[in-house]
Amino acid sequence: MSFQAYRNGGPVKRVAVYFGLTVFVVWSIAPIVWLIVSSLLEQSALIAQPPDLSPSNFTVDNFVTVAASAAALGRGVVNSLIVSLFSTALALALGAPAAYALARLSVPFSNALGFIILATQMLPGIAIAIPLFLIISYLGLIDSVLTLGVVYLSFNLPIVIWILRGFFLSIPVGIEKAAAVDGAGVLRTFWYIILPISIPPMGAAAVFAFIEAWNEFFFALILTRQSAQTVPLAIAQFAGQYQTVFGQMMAAAVISVAPVIVIATIFRDQIIRGFADGMMKG
């Protein structure tokens, strides 16, 4: 190997990149692997110090127990599905036109508005929890899946707008000028031309919003009682006053995480392409 190749970081650079990627992959999948392993361990083996990973301690009893008492978890899955789909649909319906307006129309201080919208993501939930609870309680909307979906819109909408705005900025202006020459107005151009070519970033934004709503715990804990409890709350019920059945909790978590992993795996390419396109000029 020549000195020039070493100076340019040829093999050394590749080894460093591969090592970094390996560490990142292991760091990312380790929690998932431990989740699955712990869901298959007996309680005594799981709480041992260190955990006893002997083959004889592995069992499917945790899944059997969770399946036998699946009423609460099943209701949580249904509620989470309704809330996540409702919130995602609202975020796309409102976020796409807003993002297009910020990207293409003559909106004063559009760049500043974009950053302000994204900055709302930095606001901690606890800062608005009490006033939000008082307002919703006054309106009599506590323990409603639709209320929860509207609340989740507050943190899904900004990221949807940010992703789609970046993609809309990357679209050549000539496409819209050609549509204008043919007599298409702003709304027709947006509906018939821009939206059809925006499927990848919209899909990425939709998956992101769905996962965010599916995993949210804090507002669900505050704004629900029994009928509108979501999956995270159903899993938390496995923690008792005197004992936490970790194996059953992990089994319930595996069941609840499975749909999200399946969705992310199926739409992996679309998610990557959508985020790449959306962040191009975001």
Domain membership flag for residue 32:
no
Distance CA 234, CA 12 (A): 49
Q: Which two tokens stand for residue 89?
A: 């649909």
Range of the domain at 240: 65-278
Domain count, the chain: 1
In sequence order, the 6+-apart residues with CB closer than 8 A to the CB of 166 are 201, 277, 278, 279, 280, 281, 282
Domain membership flag for residue 160:
yes
Q: Which two tokens stand for residue 15?
A: 């080894």
DSSP 225: -
Predicted local confidence at residue 282, as pLDDT: 46
Q: Which two tokens stand for residue 242?
A: 């005197």
In sequence order, the 6+-apart residues with CB closer than 8 A to the CB of 36 are 254
Domain membership flag for residue 38:
no
- Render pLDDT for 245-278 as a digit per residue (tens, 0 to 9): 888 888 888 888 877 778 777 777 766 666 565 5
CATH number at residue 175: 1.10.3720.10
- Burial of 214 from C-beta contacts in 10 A (0-12 / 13-18 / 19+): buried
CA dihedral angle for residue 110, residue 188, residue 154, residue 269, rounded to 10 degrees: -100
- Render pLDDT for 107-150 as a digit per residue (tens, 0 to 9): 777 778 878 887 777 878 888 888 889 999 998 889 899 899 99
**pLDDT tens, position by position, for the chain (282 residues)?**
444 544 555 677 888 888 888 999 899 889 888 888 988 888 888 888 888 888 888 888 888 888 776 677 788 888 999 999 999 999 999 999 999 888 888 777 777 887 888 777 787 888 888 888 999 999 888 989 989 999 999 888 988 988 888 888 888 888 888 888 878 888 888 888 888 888 888 888 888 889 889 989 999 989 988 788 888 888 887 776 556 788 888 888 888 887 777 877 777 776 666 656 555 544
Q: Does the model's pTM come out above 0.85?
A: no
Is 66 within 8 Å of 252 (Cβ atoms)?
yes
Domain membership flag for residue 208:
yes
Domain membership flag for residue 27:
no
